[in-house]
Amino acid sequence: KAGVTQTPRYLIKTRGQQVTLSCSPISGHRSVSWYQQTPGQGLQFLFEYFSETQRNKGNFPGRFSGRQFSNSRSEMNVSTLELGDSALYLCASSTDVYNEQFFGPGTRLTVL
Amino acid sequence: AQSVTQPDIHITVSEGASLELRCNYSYGATPYLFWYVQSPGQGLQLLLKYFSGDTLVQGIKGFEAEFKRSQSSFNLRKPSVHWSDAAEYFCAGEQGGSEKLVFGKGTKLTVNP
């Protein structure tokens, strides 16, 4: 069974731009969560989607948004990029049974 | 607030030596607990998990962890470390059903030959 895939793997943007990251969960997984990883703040929860509905949200500004499609694929969007948004963005999927989350390789976003 | 603490930022051990990485949690009720490992430039790989029941949990790659409710701890152990174990290790907790993992800051493991 294929793992969680994230595209693109690397992105370079400039301040003020917006970006969309994509995540394809493991087949059969209906829950997708997003995390931001930075050297200073560590791993922080962004939001979680299940069956196209956002169930949980972390403490991030409204510039961070996401959605989930009927095939469970998910996208997250960051608008009006700031330098501090430079991070590794990780996506994780689960079956929502025992809450074991499987992580993708991440998208490395650099904001210049 | 829910939190997970890893007191050691960096640990160095010699190959073949035993390893213990510490993790403490602060939750209102016993959370689900996890240990993940991250190699440079990679995502997170689950080593083991604790939901309930037996407090000694076996994981992959020869790792185990012991849940101690009295100490609010979930320490990761390995009897003999291999050079390939060098990576960063993250402890995480989740209030059951929330799908929201709270991570510790991580412990970077260096293995000397």
The answer to whether B10 contacts chain A (CB < 8 Å) is no
Please say if the pLDDT value at position B27 is more than 90: no
Tokens of B73: 């701890």
What pLDDT shows up at residue A100?
83
The answer to whether B39 contacts chain A (CB < 8 Å) is no
The answer to whether A72 contacts chain B (CB < 8 Å) is no
Cβ <8 Å between A102 and B46: yes
Whose structure tokens read 């076996």? B58
Of A73-77, A95-99, B47-51, B85-89, the poorest mean pLDDT is in A95-99
Percentage above 70 pLDDT, chain A: 96
Is pLDDT larger for residue A2 or for residue A6? A6
Tokens of B63: 């790792």
Q: What is the Cα–Cα distance from A55 to A111, expressed in whole angstroms?
A: 28
Please say if the pLDDT value at position B28 is more than 90: no
Residue B70's pLDDT band (cuts 50, 70, 90): very high
What pLDDT shows up at residue B53?
86
Q: What is the Cα–Cα distance from A99 to A66, expressed in whole angstroms?
A: 20
Residue B62's pLDDT band (cuts 50, 70, 90): very high
Please say if the pLDDT value at position A97 is more than 80: no
Q: What is the Cα–Cα distance from B104 to B9, expressed in whole angstroms?
A: 10
Helices and strands, counts by H and E, chain B: 0, 12
Q: Residue B42: its chain A contacts at CB < 8 A?
A: 105-106
The answer to whether A66 contacts chain B (CB < 8 Å) is no
Helix intervals (H) in chain A: none
* Residue B28 Rama label (left phi>0; alpha psi -120 to 50; beta): alpha
Cβ <8 Å between B99 and A43: no
Q: What is the Cα–Cα distance from B35 to A20, expressed in whole angstroms?
A: 29
